[in-house]
Structure 1
Amino acid sequence: MATAAFSATSPTQSRPAHRHRPLPSLTRLRAIRCSSVSKVPAVTAAATADPSPVFRSVAAFAPATVANLGPGFDFLGCAVGGGLGDTVTVSVDSAVAPGTLSIADVSGCAAAAKLSRNPLWNCAGIAGIAAMRMLGVRSVGLSLSLHKGLPLGSGLGSSAASAAAAALAVSELFGGRLSPDELVLAGLESEKKVSGYHADNVGPSILGGFVLIRSYDPFEIIRLEFPADRELYFVLVGPEFEAPTKKMREALPADIPMKDHVRNSSQAAALVAAVLQGNVRVLGSAMSADWIVEPRRAPLIPGMVSVKKAAIDSGAFGCTISGAGPTAVAVTDDEEKGKEIGSRMVEAFLRDGNLKASVTVAKLDRVGARVTGSSAVQKNNQALISIRI
């Protein structure tokens, strides 16, 4: 099995480690902000003791995400439900050298077989190693199994979901010692290597809900709370077409006209306000108004222009490309209406793009990455206790 060794002697931070738990909400703004003084995850002050595992194994799930949301390129994103996401199981493994991580298995979608089992070139492996380094794990070796529920190159944060689930699983294996912002930073180590240093996928995949990345240096992320009493549905239409993030980033303009910058800035601000107010109509309208990225990427996805028109004509409040694509995302406040919109979008992909497509209507995932199961460490010859959540 492939393993990866690393040094656990990074400079420490003064922030105490604590268990990953639901984020609190601030009154009025309903946001949570978490910061780091560096782009590179460091070992926490409590991590230098080389923690002992609390569980024998932990399974964690991380949801799919919609990045950019139109005008919010690289700084806005949200998590979506519907059971879309990846699952990672991390186990203490005596066959793996202490202080290293091995990938034991990769399963799931048809393209999962293409993923490397070298943890230095696998999204889950990279994030898992980053979390181990943060914790200062040196005395035990870990094995990791990845189940891909998301297709590759779909525009739904496939790499970020793997990274988010891995980071959380490693943290929880040792008692949930990493804070939410540290988990995001661990996931960012993976994103940096695979698709670029952007947190608009891994941030919401870990924190849930909507997020705004205020700054990358120093890193600062704000969780935006969509009102619990408002309905919001995402119509996700994924064609049988792969749009590699690297290729889609290469299509972006090097220079941006001032008028387009002003347009996008105003729409991004309107989108944030709409999220906090629970105004789905304004949210959709702002999401549809990207003057910089979407015009360059849409022509690279067969039928995308017609799909967006079909969504709007069918009653969607807005439609754009999810992340780098090719998935198209529309929003509405009614589930049945969402199914109707999705059918029209699927038809448009086939008619004008010659692409078969599938549709999922999903709510906002407000939870983010979570533990789905664990096995307790065996003590005094007692049987292992399995827990499913």
Structure 2
Amino acid sequence: MAAAAATVPSPATSFPSTTRKATVLSLRVSRRFKVAASAAASPGPDPSPAFKSVTAFAPATVANLGPGFDFLGCAVADASLSLGDTVTATLDPSLPPGTVAIAGITSPSRPHLADRLSRDPLRNCAGIAAAAALQALGVRSHAVSLRLAKGLPLGSGLGSSAASAAAAAKAVDALFGSLLYRDDLVLAGLESEKAVSGFHADNIAPAILGGFVLVRSYEPFHLMPLPCPPALRLHFVLVTPDFEAPTSKMRAALPKHVAIKHHVRNSSQAAALVAAVLQGDAGVIGSAMSSDGIVEPTRAPLIPGMVAVKAAALEAGALGCTISGAGPTAVAVIEGAEKGEEIARRMVDAFLSVGKLKATATIAQLDRAGARVISTSSLE
């Protein structure tokens, strides 16, 4: 088992590490997080552990939601909680105090995936977020080992890195009594996101908070959860082709300049989407999601069959369809689950017939809870 310093590094990679080096708790993190951490962590004694171990789950997320590039997102999950990641954080007296280690990684539905993820906590999304949470808590006398169960594929556009980070931050916080504020948890997760996909919170914020979230600003840091009426039965048809779309590649394709008319239209559609969420208007949510005129047109051609998949979803009765995050997952929105299977079949068929890609489909619902503790082990 590799024990490494709880130091937030620069870029994450996916190769395994055999390093056992441990150093002091010295986090090189963003100024935003230092401000939050200094406010959250008391200068006094370490917080006492509340449990021996904690297991937390964090759901998948759909970022951008069409016109809301980098500032809108929502959490989605299925009833079995397979659409997300799970992290178990355990007090580990065998490690140097103030450090984090990755004790194991599994991927029940994709066994090969575990081998692609680093067990070096400084190069693993869960490890980075756990280290950041330890600093925010002011933990110096205890060490934590993590076990990560990946339910999400890499490079899918479903917030895979954010789910690992959110579950780890939540588990570590709960291990020491759930002392962190909401924003501190998000900022801890952002340290991980920054290492793999850039400093943007449209995945990590809904992964932790649940529901729809608007990222208003970073200076100052301001998140706005968007409560929608409980009666809204919003479901999502998520169709993921056998095709990896690295966030870096999909960001490189974005236009460097945007015409004012396109900016105005996208702004109006994003505003309509926010209003529709608050009002519980599924029809407008769907049509606004389908109306991105800036990002989707540049990314869709990079995902074989995406244009045809969107057309197939709308023809089958979806209220709207767009690319989830950076892709390649296509997300269609429906009210209720009745049409879900037929829409999913049409979308899968379109990926195969037009894009020559096999695809898998999941029908999920809006996850209003976000990251949550699912089990604990008491102190002996």
TM-score (ref. length: structure 1)? 0.88
Q: Give structure 2 stretches of 5+ with no counterpart.
A: 8-23
How far apart are the structure 2 equivalents of 1:369 and 1:141?
22
Secondary structure at 1:267 match in 2:
helix
Letter in 2 for 1:88: V
Is contact 2:5-2:25 (8 Å) kept?
A: no
What do the CA deviations read for 1:266-295 (whole angstroms, capped 9, x no partner)? Answer: 000000000001101100000001111101
Give 1:182 shift: 0.7
How far apart are the structure 1 equivalents of 2:365 and 2:245?
24
Matched, 1:123 2:125: yes
Is contact 1:288-1:318 (8 Å) kept?
A: yes
How far apart are the structure 2 equivalents of 1:138 and 1:236?
42
Letter in 2 for 1:142: V
Equivalent residue number for residue 21 of structure 2? none
Give 1:163 shift: 0.2
Is contact 2:6-2:128 (8 Å) kept?
A: no
Which of the residues 111, 114, 124 maps onto 1:112? Answer: 114
Equivalent residue number for residue 11 of structure 2? none
Give 1:47 shift: 3.2
Equivalent residue number for residue 43 of structure 1? 38
Equivalent residue number for residue 77 of structure 2? 81
Which of the residues 298, 301, 305 maps onto 1:299? Answer: 301
Is contact 1:302-1:354 (8 Å) kept?
A: yes
How far apart are the structure 2 equivalents of 1:362 and 1:277?
21
Which of the residues 48, 55, 59 maps onto 2:55? Answer: 59
Is contact 1:88-1:145 (8 Å) kept?
A: yes
How far apart are the structure 1 equivalents of 2:262 and 2:53?
50
Equivalent residue number for residue 28 of structure 1? none
How far apart are the structure 2 equivalents of 1:323 and 1:362?
16
Give matches, 1:1-389, under 5 Å.
Answer: 1-6=2-7, 38-40=32-34, 41-48=36-43, 49-82=45-78, 83=81, 84-108=83-107, 109=110, 110-378=112-380
Equivalent residue number for residue 20 of structure 2? none
Equivalent residue number for residue 14 of structure 2? none
* Equivalent pairs, count: 353
Give 1:5 shift: 3.9
Is contact 1:331-1:338 (8 Å) kept?
A: no
Q: Structure 1 residues 363, 45: CA separation in 2 closer, same or farther (over 3 Å shift)?
A: closer
CA RMSD, Structure 1 to Structure 2 (Å): 1.5
Is contact 1:204-1:368 (8 Å) kept?
A: yes
Give 1:179 shift: 1.1
What do the CA deviations read for 1:159-216 (whole angstroms, capped 9, x no partner)? Answer: 0000000000000000001111110010001001111001000000000000000002
Give 1:116 shift: 0.8
Q: Give structure 1 stretches of 5+ with no counterpart.
A: 11-35, 379-389
Letter in 1 for 2:67: P
What do the CA deviations read for 1:34-61 (whole angstroms, capped 9, x no partner)? Answer: xx99254423355332112111110000
Superposition misfits of 4+ residues, deviation over 6 angstroms: none
Identity, % of aligned pairs?
65
Greater Cα shift, 103-112 or 265-274: 103-112
Secondary structure at 1:359 match in 2:
strand
Give 1:2 shift: 3.3
Is contact 1:37-1:219 (8 Å) kept?
A: no
Secondary structure at 1:44 match in 2:
helix
Give 1:9 shift: 7.8
TM-score (ref. length: structure 2)? 0.90
